[in-house]
Amino acid sequence: MPYPRQFVTIPLAETPAVPDGLTATVPRELVHRASVAETFLTGANRTGTDRFTVFAQWPRAHQLHVSSDRSTYEPLLVAETVRQAGALLAHTAYGVPLGHQFVLRELRINTRPGQLAVGAVPAEPVLHITVSDIDQRGGRPAGFRYDADVRLGGERVATGHIAVTWTNEAVYRRLRGGRTATTVSALPVPPGLAPAEVDRALPADVVLAPADHHGRWRLRVDTGHAVFFDHPLDHVPGMLLLEAARQAARTRTRNRRRRPVSFLAVFHQYAELDQLTWIDVVDGEGVNGTGVQVLGRQGESTVFECEVGTEGR
């Protein structure tokens, strides 16, 4: 059976009337979040074949995604918003059932920090999405790539590209060998680096712990963290790995006034909760001479790699 080609909208006729200027988020299930506070999308519509406009709202304060002085939106907020857009479109425009398990394969985010200032009201970015390379299996989509042009007030503030696949629950459980959030426990959380060293305000948001040599850290996996583990998971989430790359870049950037502005990440396999994860900075800089190369390893396997691009403040 071919997958639906019409965008499925949420019926609004039965929702309570709200004052002008107020709105609501999309249902949290559609973006794979348990918390409404971590749901950033407010709607979407189709603009052409495999083209969409997605609407979002960013809070003026956030534990992770707004700078500690509440002046700037963080690049990882852009990454999370673009990720949520893909989940929303997969479920509503391509007929992917709720309950399917999504796997992030690649992520590219480039931001313009000068355009990401926090204003007097929550920002309302608009994402122009183009879907491509739809992977068809048995007449149904099993994954796609998409590009995002992120704009605020009509001005481009970021671009993104994501490759994602998905599978039904039964297949996922076979792939995971029965590992679930209830059968797998994370390792004890070691003491972390000083928050200021990784440009974080709270010790709980530090995801790196000292290791045995320079340029290496142990990943701190705190399953009680309300953002990274918005709901129980059987593996380390991709956003936690990206934050580890961000923090590693902050510790290794020679000029501390340089800030992370872009991420080019490839996720090779699941990072398991009950195995040590090591975060390594590779010698040499990015292709533009302004980035940091970061690897995440478990045992002899590389679970992800990421180039973090930086620029001066």
Q: Kindly tell me the burial class for residue 260, based on how many C-beta atoms sit within 10 Å of its own C-beta (0-12, 13-18, 19 or more).
A: buried
pLDDT at residue 193, rounded to an integer: 96
Q: Which range is most confident: 20-24, 251-255, 268-272? A: 268-272
Residues 170 and 195 in one domain: no
Selection from 221, 201, 202 nearest residue 273 by Cα: 221
Residue 86 lies in a domain: yes
Residues 223 and 268 in one domain: yes
Are 101 and 257 in contact by the 8 Å Cβ rule? The answer is no
> Which backbone phi and psi does 24 adopt, to 5 degrees?
-135, 160
Task: Please give the Cα distance from 271 to 297 (Å, whole number).
Answer: 8
Residues 153 and 190 in one domain: no
Residues 145 and 67 in one domain: yes
Residue 9 lies in a domain: no
DSSP string, 145-157: EEEEEEEETTEEE
pLDDT tier for residue 51 given thresholds of 50, 70 and 90? very high
DSSP string, 220-260: P--TT-TTTTSS--SS--HHHHHHHHHHHHHHH-SSTTEEE
pLDDT of 216-240, one tens digit each?
Answer: 999 999 999 999 999 999 999 999 9
Residues 281 and 189 in one domain: yes
Cα→Cα distances 147→55, 57, 111, 129, 163, Å:
15, 19, 14, 6, 9
Q: Is the pLDDT of residue 23 over 90?
A: no
Q: Is the pLDDT of residue 55 over 80?
A: yes
Residues 206 and 149 in one domain: no
Looking only at the bridges linking them, the beta strands covering 155-167 and 140-152 are antiparallel
Residues 103 and 215 in one domain: no
pLDDT of 170-218, one tens digit each?
Answer: 999 999 998 999 999 999 999 999 999 998 999 999 999 999 888 999 9
Q: What is the mean pLDDT of residues 142-166?
A: 97
Residue 4 lies in a domain: no
Task: Please give the Cα distance from 291 to 282 (Å, whole number).
Answer: 11
Residues 166 and 292 in one domain: no
* Residues of the domain holding 147: 28-174
Task: Please give the Cα distance from 72 to 118 (Å, whole number).
Answer: 5
Residue 159 lies in a domain: yes
Residues 206 and 78 in one domain: no
pLDDT at residue 255, rounded to an integer: 52
pLDDT tier for residue 68 given thresholds of 50, 70 and 90? confident
- For the chain, the domain total comes to 2
Residues 35 and 153 in one domain: yes
Residue 13 lies in a domain: no
DSSP one-letter code for 58: B
Residues 36 and 157 in one domain: yes
pLDDT at residue 14, rounded to an integer: 38
User: Which of 129, 156, 174 is where one domain is finished?
Assistant: 174
Largest interatomic CA distance in the chain: 60
User: Which of 123, 143, 174 is where one domain is finished?
Assistant: 174
User: Which of 174, 200, 228 is where one domain is finished?
Assistant: 174
The mean pLDDT value of the chain amounts to 89
Task: Please give the Cα distance from 262 to 84 (Å, whole number).
Answer: 18
Residue 111 lies in a domain: yes
pTM for the structure as a whole: 0.91
Residue 19 lies in a domain: no
pLDDT tier for residue 139 given thresholds of 50, 70 and 90? confident
The domain that holds 127 is classified in CATH as 3.10.129.10
DSSP string, 265-286: EEE-SPPPTTS--EEEEEEEE-
Selection from 267, 222, 298, 246 nearest residue 103 by Cα: 267
Residues 142 and 232 in one domain: no
Residue 20 lies in a domain: no
